[in-house]
Structures are given as C-alpha cells and as structure tokens.
Structure 1
Amino acid sequence: MTTYIATDPQFDFAPRPGRVLQRELDAAGISQAQLAARTGLSTKHINLVIKGTAALSPDVAVTLEQILGTPAETWLHLEAERQVHEARKERSEVLEGYVSWANSFPRQLLIDRKVINESDAGTSLVAKLLSFFSVASPSAYAKTWLEPQASYKRSQVHSIDADLTALWLRLSELRAAELIEAAPVYDPAKLKAAADLLPKLTMSDDVGHAFAEAQELLLAAGVVLVFVPEISNTRISGVSRWKNGTPIIAVTIRYKTLDGLWFTILHEIAHVLLHPKRSTFVDDGFKADDDADEQETAANEFAQDHLIPPTYRAQLVATKTVIGIISLAEELGISPALVAGQWAFRTNTWGGSIAKLRKKIDPAELPA
C-alpha cells in the first residue's frame, strides 16, 4: 500500500489517479485485464480510468481499496485534486477574457487600498478583483455592484464614477464585517439616545478617540460605524445601508473638517432611524442641494437640530464674531467648529474669521 500527498494548488500539475493506479498495478504485477477480472469491471473502463478519461468513482475507489489495499479516501482525494486542477485550468482560460475589465480599474489605487499586490497582473489581477467583490465574472459584478446604484438615494447631482463607488462601498462593507459579527440586534431607541450624546463628543481634542467612542455608542444600539478614506470621483461623504439586518454607517472626511464629519454621522443616523431598510443612501454632505428630496431634507434637519437646537437658530444667525460663536458653543456644550460650520451653512458664508474656526482634520487621525 502506498500513501500519496495531496497536491499543493500553487503547482501547475496534479497526480492523475490513473497514473498512480498503473504504478500500483505494475508494482503488484497485475495487468489491466487481470484487474478488470478481479473487480468485475470491464477492461475498457479500467483503461479509461487509467488514461484519466473516466472519473474514478467512489464505488471503484472502495473496490480498489479491497484489492490493492490503498484506502478509498486516497483514490477519491487524488480524483478530487485532478478535477479541481482541471477546473482551475479552465477557469484560468476564462479569466484571460476578463483582463481588460480588470485593467480598467486604477491600478495604483487598488494597490494603495491593499486590494491587490504590486505583482498582480493578468489573470492574477482578475482573480484578485473578482474575489474582492465576491463575484465570478464582470457581468456578475455589474449586476451586484453597478445596477443597484441606480436605486441608491444620492444627495447630489454631480456625475460620479460607478466603479469607484462600488470599490468604496465594498471597502466599507469589509471594514464593517468584524463589527457586524459583534453587533447586537438593532435598537432604534438606543440609537436615538446615542445621537443625543454625539454632539458632546465633538469637544474632544482627539478626534480619533471621539470617533471610537461614537463607534461604541452606535454598536451598543446595533449599528456599525466605520471610517473609510474617500476615493476621488465618488463624491461620497457618507453612506447608510443594511447588511444582514444590521445598519452600517460608513463615512469619509470629504471636506476634511470636524463639523463635516460629525454632521455626516448624524445625517446617516437619521436615515437609519427615519428610513429603515428602504434604501441605500450615498451622501455628499451638508452643502448638497437636497430641496427636491424629502428624505434628504429630513436627514439634514435631524443633524442640524442635534447640533444647533431650533431655539438657538436666531441667535446663531445673528452672531457676527468669533467670540460670539465660541460663547454659543460653550452654552451648547459642543465644539466651536460645529457651531461655525452651521453658521456658515445658515448664512452661506464660507470664508472669513468665523469660518476659520472650522477645524481641519486629517484622515490619519481616524481609525482606518
């Protein structure tokens, strides 16, 4: 009896069961005709198995075990390895036809986002991309990632790159995967309570730590919050969507401002609370023109009310000085950057001394 080691898929060959069988027969001094007589199979079938034309079935494997002593599992494993090897060869030929599709994605971006390695090219690149998007072909990619974008709610009218949007959405999905496993059942009441607490977190000088606290608050409510750096030509500041019954909120810092980040988080929380499970919302930020979209208007108002309660709106708009903005921020218990951002929005004044209070943040400050 001989023991055989399974083929490593990295090698471009696999031991054919028939070849191994012939070696066993030669070692035992048994001809194909004699094996046929002993097994009750036809000589033709034995010959086809040895040539690899016919598959080595479980019945034949058990019979060979009885006659030659080699475990049936060994024969079946060799047969499975051969079939997988042949399937991989056929698949590689198919992938050759997808190379131009894979090359249409920005290569350096894929490397920077660790989707592929620098050495990936040709069919290796294709295989990596298909695996990343969890699809079998470019047509499956289009149905899974591009066609649904037509139904996404977007709070802006600029043209966007659908492939790069799909890339960013997939990155956010993968970023959220581990947190989804740890998330309890979604609780709207807890999410509302978390939204009430978020403005206080803006007072922290450490935006990364404050974001982590926000993640914990939302996760306790069954909502996953992640940060994924922006990809050019997607115009995404945030997204809210549902995955396996769990709401996911993913944000960028498109405007690279503290107020933009926290407004986006609150805006996406509003979508989860107000428009549950109905749509995927891909948002541009609070500077977008949302007047024609009631759902976006409602989400904007939710975020605005949590940052500057309606009773303070007149005071906010009437404020003309930096000191006034800082004083109002202290009264509200939030960062002056958030008050300055809302002041800029309400007065449509995006420059000047007050606008300088809108603290800039760097992607490196947030957990990626």
Structure 2
Amino acid sequence: MIYSDKQCGISRAQLSKLQAALRTLTEHMSDQSWLKQAEINALKSQISDIEAEITEYELLRSGQVSFTKAYALDELPRILVQARIAAGMSQTELAEKLHLKPQQIQRYEASFYMGASLSRLIEIAHALGVKASGSFEGPRQTDSAIYAWGTADDIVWGQLPYKEMIKRKWFDVPRGTNPIEKVKEYFLHAAGPQFASALHRKKMHSGNAPNEYALLAWQARVIDRARQKIALGKIGKFELDDTWLGQITQLTKKKNGPLLARDLLAAHGITLIIEPHLPGSYLDGAAMVIDGDRPVIGLTLRYDRLDNFWFVLMHELGHIFLHLFDGLRFDFFDDENARDSDTIEIDADKFALDVLIPENLWDQCLSRFALSEESVRIDAETVGIHSSIIAGRIRKEQNNYTILNNLVGQGQVRSLLEEVSHDLD
C-alpha cells in the first residue's frame, strides 16, 4: 500500500521501469517458450499490482472516494491508512494531532500498526473518523465507495440475502439442510472465492449507501449466468477494440434494439446479463471481468426506460474499454442517480455520451433549448438515433425528470429482455 506522495512518486518510477522491461522483453522475444511467457506474466502481474495501488492512493488523496469498508479486524490498519490519506492528512499532520513524533506514525504504518496498543488504535481511529465496523467517512463526501474483503473467509455468510436468493430459486435448500451453508456453497460455486477478496474490490458509485452483501450476492448470480452462456458457445472472443460501438447507435432506432445490442455484444465477446436488483442494492448496472479476459455487463432494468437502458449500457461499456483492463482491479457497480463527482465515473459518462451522440452533433441539437417533443424527434432523425436518448440527456442536463415523459420509452425494455433473461437463448 502507498502511504505518501513521496512513495507514490517512487511507485511511479518503479512502474515505468517495469513497463519498459516488459516492452523490451516482448520486442526481443524470439520464441514463445514457456519460460519467456512466465517472465512476461510475472511482469504484467507486478505492473497490475502497482497500478492498482497508485490508483487507490490517488482516488483517496483527491477526495474522490470518501468511504471504504473492511470485514476483518486485521484489515483495520489498512482502513486507518486509507482514512488518513482521504482526509488529506500527512503522517506528520496526524502525529501533530495526536501529540506524537512523526517517526512514530511512520513506524506504525510501516508495520501495519502491529506494535500499537488497543488504546492507541482507538485514539487514532477517533482522530481519523474510523468507525468500529472498519469503515471511514471522509470530510469530502462523494457518491463513491470501495468494498473489499481480505479473503472469502472474512465473509459473514449469513449476511447474504439468502432468503431472497432462495425465493428467486437461485439454489435449492433440501429439507434439513442449513440455508447458510447452502448460500456459501452457491457463492463459491457461482462466483468463486476470488470475487470476495482484494483481487476484486467493489467500486460502488451510488447516491445511497448500498447493502454490500446484496451487491455480492447479485454479482455471484450474474457471474453464474454469464459462465453458463459462455459454456454454451454463445459468446465470441473479446478484443480491446471499441471501433465497432458506433453500430449500437443504429440499433437504438429499431424496436427490438436492446435484443440486437445484446447479440452484437456477444459477437464481440461481451456477455450481457439482465438480473433484477436485490433489495438495498440501489443498482442499475455493473461491469466486471471473469476468468481473466471475459468482460461481463450486468443490468438490473430497475428503471424500465429506453433512455436509461442505452445510457447505462454505454456507461458500463466505458468501464470495460477504459478501466477494467487497465490494472485497476475494481468491479464497477453503478447507480445512475449518483452525482458525477468521480473522475473514473466522469470518464465512463463521457464515453457513453460521445458514442451515443458525438459532442459536435449534440451542440447542433436545438431541442436542448426548445424542450418540445417535436424538436426532439427532429433532432433524433437528424442525428440518427432513437428520440429517447436525446430526451433522456435533456432531462438529465436540465435536472428535470417531469419533461418529455412520452419520449423516454417507458415500459419498453423489460418486456423485451426480461422474458429471455433466464433461458440462456
């Protein structure tokens, strides 16, 4: 973990050296021997680790993440360091607040607080606003949070919404068996223990505090169904090439556009799963990678509107092409109602908007000012996109969700997609 700006600079320098070594090894590789490939994989793993640490530090340092939570006592030291960084406090400033020498804080953090007494840990937790649950809420409130279990062993399996999962027939509980054992068995089979570890930190962008166990359960269901589709040979090979995304705008004009979009994504190696959200998750969509190189998008259709479907879909595609393969080690969960206060989410929003309606075309749309149904339809025809997308963007930019109600495609998505969401066709 990175503790200071100085260490961040050192990590950046180390990252540059590793990236240069990877380029050199790749360029001068004369054969594809297992030894050379092992060296390349090792370098890539080191690069990924450092990139993830730098990204986490920068998000915390800039105030773009002001909440994190851990689920084991041995994660408390990491929470304390995260809280200090997110509060914009240096090690020296924390020491002054506690009337300690800066070297003492440095020693505490370097040893992950192994030499600190319980009373000292409580004092530091109070100073940093860290709650007993192992979470912090920073002074700069945002709509982003990070959830990470150390390992699957840290999960309190009874916290998963197993009654709702059983009700939805995700798994069976034979008479006389323990439902909590069954929910654990289901999760480990459906998702795997790595999805409840630091290898898959959950980055949640939401205007509400979600139930993180509901997110974990929902993700397991999406992964389970995605793997079934992949096993049936229905998903093509994925390439990190977004030049084909313009085809989606043409599909928006078709009555069965969402179905055609699902098929287009599958052809390009992206699995789209429709899975209704669980209570308390406040979730519209998510993007994740399974089995190393298989991108998956999960949508809840919480709002059964065309404008919401197309924007959330493109936002998650933004995460796939901008972030998921960039060493961040985050699974991205999104609530469209959250504020745009996070550079990662702003990037995904811009990606979505630019693909759906390029900025130069948006600037020419007179419906932004006229705010009439007729002007929206005219602009949609000119741009070559479904009118719901223009209407939805106007409503969002105007922050007025009472206008253009007849154009946002209310009730036109779920009937198309949910009826085929469980048959793996």
Q: Structure 1 CA distance, aligned partners of 2:206 and 2:228?
A: 31
Q: Quote the residue 2:368 is aligned against.
A: 317
Q: Quote the residue 1:36 is aligned against.
A: none
**Alignment-mate amino acid for residue 214 of structure 2:** L
Alignment match of 2:254 (pick from 204, 219, 222): 204
SS across alignment from 2:287: strand
Q: For residue 306 of structure 1, report the CA deviation from its aligned partner.
A: 1.9
Q: Structure 2 CA distance, aligned partners of 1:250 and 1:134?
A: 19
Q: Structure 1 CA distance, aligned partners of 2:225 and 2:200?
A: 24
Q: For residue 364 of structure 1, report the CA deviation from its aligned partner.
A: 4.1
What TM-score do the two structures reach when normalised by structure 1?
0.63
SS across alignment from 1:225: strand
**Which structure has the highest helix share of the two?**
1
Query: For the structure 1 residues 150 and 188, does the alpha-carbon distance in structure 2 shift closer, same or farther, using more than 3 Å as the test?
Result: closer
Please list the CA deviations of residues 248-270 of structure 1 after superposition, one character each: whole Å capped at 9, or x if unmatched: 11111122211111111111111
Q: Quote the residue 1:230 is aligned against.
A: 277
Q: For residue 103 of structure 1, report the CA deviation from its aligned partner.
A: 5.9
**Alignment-mate amino acid for residue 251 of structure 1:** L
Alignment match of 2:356 (pick from 307, 320, 328): 307
Q: Quote the residue 2:185 is aligned against.
A: 131
The percent of aligned pairs where both chains have the same amino acid is: 24
Q: Please say if residues 161 and 213 of structure 2, whose CA atoms lie closer than 8 Å, have aligned partners that are also in contact.
A: no
Q: Please say if residues 162 and 180 of structure 2, whose CA atoms lie closer than 8 Å, have aligned partners that are also in contact.
A: no
Q: Is 1:217 paired with 2:264? A: yes
Q: Please say if residues 250 and 385 of structure 2, whose CA atoms lie closer than 8 Å, have aligned partners that are also in contact.
A: yes
Superposition pairs of residues 1-368 of structure 1, within 5 angstroms: 105-106=160-161, 108-117=163-172, 120=174, 123-134=177-188, 144=194, 146=196, 148=198, 151-181=201-231, 182=233, 183-189=235-241, 191-193=242-244, 195-206=245-256, 210-244=257-291, 245-277=293-325, 278=328, 279-285=330-336, 287-291=337-341, 293-314=342-363, 315=365, 316-352=367-403, 354-361=404-411, 363-366=414-417, 367-368=420-421
What RMSD over aligned residues (CA atoms) do the two structures have, in Å? 2.7
Q: Structure 2 CA distance, aligned partners of 1:250 and 1:133?
A: 17
Q: Structure 2 CA distance, aligned partners of 1:106 and 1:243?
A: 23
Query: For the structure 1 residues 363 and 112, does the alpha-carbon distance in structure 2 shift closer, same or farther, using more than 3 Å as the test?
Result: farther
Query: For the structure 1 residues 282 and 148, does the alpha-carbon distance in structure 2 shift closer, same or farther, using more than 3 Å as the test?
Result: farther
Report which stretch shifted further, 256-265 or 119-128.
119-128
Structure of higher CA gyration radius: 1
SS across alignment from 1:154: strand
Q: Please say if residues 285 and 298 of structure 2, whose CA atoms lie closer than 8 Å, have aligned partners that are also in contact.
A: yes
Q: Structure 1 CA distance, aligned partners of 2:180 and 2:405?
A: 46
Q: Structure 2 CA distance, aligned partners of 1:364 and 1:240?
A: 23
Please list the CA deviations of residues 208-266 of structure 1 after superposition, one character each: whole Å capped at 9, or x if unmatched: xx333222212222221111112221111111111111111111112221111111111
Q: For residue 358 of structure 1, report the CA deviation from its aligned partner.
A: 1.1
What TM-score do the two structures reach when normalised by structure 2?
0.55
Q: Structure 1 CA distance, aligned partners of 2:405 and 2:199?
A: 35
- Residues paired across the two proteins, number: 255
SS across alignment from 1:134: helix
Q: Please say if residues 271 and 281 of structure 1, whose CA atoms lie closer than 8 Å, have aligned partners that are also in contact.
A: yes
Q: Please say if residues 165 and 171 of structure 2, whose CA atoms lie closer than 8 Å, have aligned partners that are also in contact.
A: yes
Q: For residue 333 of structure 1, report the CA deviation from its aligned partner.
A: 2.0
Q: Please say if residues 162 and 183 of structure 2, whose CA atoms lie closer than 8 Å, have aligned partners that are also in contact.
A: no
Q: Please say if residues 391 and 407 of structure 2, whose CA atoms lie closer than 8 Å, have aligned partners that are also in contact.
A: yes
Query: For the structure 1 residues 149 and 342, does the alpha-carbon distance in structure 2 shift closer, same or farther, using more than 3 Å as the test?
Result: farther
Please list the CA deviations of residues 83-124 of structure 1 after superposition, one character each: whole Å capped at 9, or x if unmatched: xxxxxxxxxxxxxxxxxx76655455223321244x646534
Query: For the structure 1 residues 175 and 147, does the alpha-carbon distance in structure 2 shift closer, same or farther, using more than 3 Å as the test?
Result: same
